[in-house]
Amino acid sequence: MSNVLRVGLAGLGTVGGGVASMLAANADVVAARAGRRIEVVAVAARDRARDRGLPLGEAAWFADAAAMAADAGIDVVVEAIGGSEGIARRVVEVALAAGKPVVTANKALLAVHGAALARAAEARGTPLAFEAAVAGGIPVIKVLREGLAGNRITSVAGILNGTCNHILTTMRNERRGFADVLEEAQDLGYAEADPSFDVDGIDAAHKLAILAAIAFGRPVAFEDVHVEGIRGISMLDIGFAEELGYRIKLLGIARREGRGISTRVHPCMLPAAAPLARVDGVFNAVVAVGDHVGRVMLEGRGAGAGPTASAVVADLIDIARGRAAPVWGAGSGDLSDAPSVPIREHVGPSYLRLLVVDQPGVIADVAAILRDEGVSLGSMLQRGRKPGEAVPVVLVTHDAPEAAIDAALARIDALGSVLEKPVRIRIEEGEA
């Protein structure tokens, strides 16, 4: 074994730059924990002439990241390009085909192509490590795959997108609307110019698909994750949630159900005293429940150069020490074939907000529809009277099947006295 683990770094953006900086700044600590030095000996990036202020030393430059991945002078490839297709996918496939370990922070790639990449890694007996792909510096992959390996995991849930959590926290604390807070988040660098992956829940869904695969020992199934974002959350909902004793969070939730595994990402109302409800700002948190360990919660910064680099370097240290675990916690032949349970089979309470004309008979009409669809009401809020004008009405249901809520909302939306599409937010009393 060489006394140096030679790293090829594909991509020098936030993640790649953070990895290069951390390996240089903490070289002595990393070497002591890895048992040998870990050095970046090659990089691939679009613009060689650009001064990034990174400690790259005499690292070889490659215009073609895939060619770098195949180079015999590299022991391990760090893919920090991002995206589920194109050169990022090619780099990982080339490295695995050459028998080189891969470390990646690319949640989209793993969520979409993780099953095939896991088989490729297993066929060559080489590690595919991705601690940084979920929750940045929080070691949730290692905890689920190794620390809780003896448990039957019953559920895993969490705040998996710091941008959404920052937006919802700021809306609540500063009483500002979604569009205004989103624009500020873009100015601060918390949200991209095109924020769709974050605010529409796709980023969180990528991460949840990975967590569910590890927690339940089955192939990753991104296409089965139900996804909703936070664009429809208004200050009205934030205010009513507080009045009812809740806080609104975008959660990813995966559960072992009676006949399979359910995976869903959507806004939730959580009791204000619940641990996840108190996780604010750009922080992430994950709660896992095991049959013997009980409830375990991890919290920390889920993005940024430092936290993400911390997770990548931890994976490199494992590789340097020869430590590796199966990608999804078990070999391909031992993975579960548990089916995915669709969102339409979910049963639980809901918050429903309507904007209606304040006139006699409106509430009776709504109540009759809920009764006909088998949805039982727990409480109702209406503040003030404005005869003939628009007023918000909030209904909180008892546990009800998803299909019944959907049918009731479709009929309520068709009422002439209902002025805009009803808002529905699921309530999660138990978090996970």
- Distances 300 to 99, 210, 329 between C-alpha atoms, Å: 33, 18, 23
* C-alpha radius of gyration, the chain, whole number: 24
| Site of tokens 């601060």 | 188
Residue in 207, 249, 386, 421 annotated catalytic: 207
Cα–Cα distance between 17 and 6 in angstroms, integer? 17
Cα–Cα distance between 233 and 239 in angstroms, integer? 11
Query: Is 207 annotated in the active site?
Result: yes
257 phi and psi angles, rounded to 5 deg: -100, 180
- Cβ-contact 318, 240 below 8 angstroms: no
- Under 8 Å CB-to-CB from 10, ≥6 apart: which residues? 16, 43, 44, 65, 68, 69, 77, 78, 79, 80, 81, 87, 88, 91
Cα–Cα distance between 185 and 122 in angstroms, integer? 41
Closest CA to 320 of 108, 32, 9, 12: 32
Cα–Cα distance between 347 and 328 in angstroms, integer? 29
The SS3 call for residue 238 is helix
Cα–Cα distance between 223 and 209 in angstroms, integer? 9
Q: Which DSSP category does 338 fall into?
A: P
| Site of tokens 């073609």 | 64
Cα–Cα distance between 201 and 31 in angstroms, integer? 39
Length of the chain: 432
CA 150 vs. chain centroid, Å, equals 24
Q: Which residues in 175-325 belong to E strands, given as ranges?
A: 226-227, 246-256, 261-271, 283-290, 294-301
Cα–Cα distance between 213 and 353 in angstroms, integer? 35
Closest CA to 104 of 85, 87, 124, 82: 82
- Cβ-contact 305, 14 below 8 angstroms: yes
Long-range contacts of 405-411 (CB under 8 A, 24+ apart): 405/350, 405/352, 405/373, 405/375, 406/344, 407/373, 408/369, 408/370, 408/372, 408/373, 408/375, 409/352, 411/369, 411/373
Q: Which residues are catalytic?
A: 207
